[in-house]
Amino acid sequence: MSNNTETPDMEGRNRPFFRKLFTFKYHRPSDLQQLLISILGFVLVIVGLTYTAWQLNAEANATDRAVSQTLFSSNLDTDKLFIDSPQLRPYFFNSKKFNSTEISSADYNKALAIADYQLDFFSVIFDQEQFSKELQASANLRNAWDNYMQQSFKKSPIMCSELKTRGEQGEYTSGFIEYFKADC
């Protein structure tokens, strides 16, 4: 043989290895069919994996948009509570405390309900940060939410009271309670 890439054929002549590889007289038809089926299968697996990755990414983006929309909607719902009960705003925004004669009033109970609603809402924001690409990607957005929540605790004794009460009942994660306890 003259070099490693040539092999003698059945008639004793030398043929380049790759030319022999793709010449049908050296292979059984079933070998070529198996090779083509294997190549096709490999291509289909790659296409399938690529499509699945694309689909998972699209679903993750849709979920993230849904979380953002839910947070925005819940924030508007909280605003509506104060529109419907403007007399309660000072208890949430001006550090006003309920006095002992007001504790049995309907306004006090409604304020407790609003505080519970806000605590639940804040807990969702706090817990969803790790799953929301939007909150992770935008430091400004996350800082805005943190500031809004911290100011809510700083300016609302009833929010702090409910955080303490419901925290003692185990209704929130210790991370959530510890993060906002300092603002009370």
φ, ψ at 10 (rounded to 5°): -65, -25
Beta bridge partners of 7: 15
Number of neighbours of residue 160 by Cβ within 10 angstroms? 18
**Predicted TM-score of the model (pTM):** 0.64
pLDDT band at 25 (very low <50, low <70, confident <90, very high): low
Q: Per-residue pLDDT for 51 more than 70?
A: yes
* pLDDT higher than threshold 90 for residue 58: no
- Amino acid 180 reads F
Q: Can you give the pLDDT at residue 128?
A: 77
Checking phi first, is residue 85 left (phi over 0); if not, alpha (psi -120 to 50) or beta?
Answer: beta
State which amino acid sits at residue 128: Q
Helix axes 139-154, 106-128, angle to 10 degrees: 150
- Whose tokens are 């505080």? That residue is 115
Q: How many CB atoms lie within 10 A of CB 176?
A: 19
The number of beta carbons lying within 10 Å of the beta carbon of residue 128 is 16
Element (H, E) at 62: helix 29-84
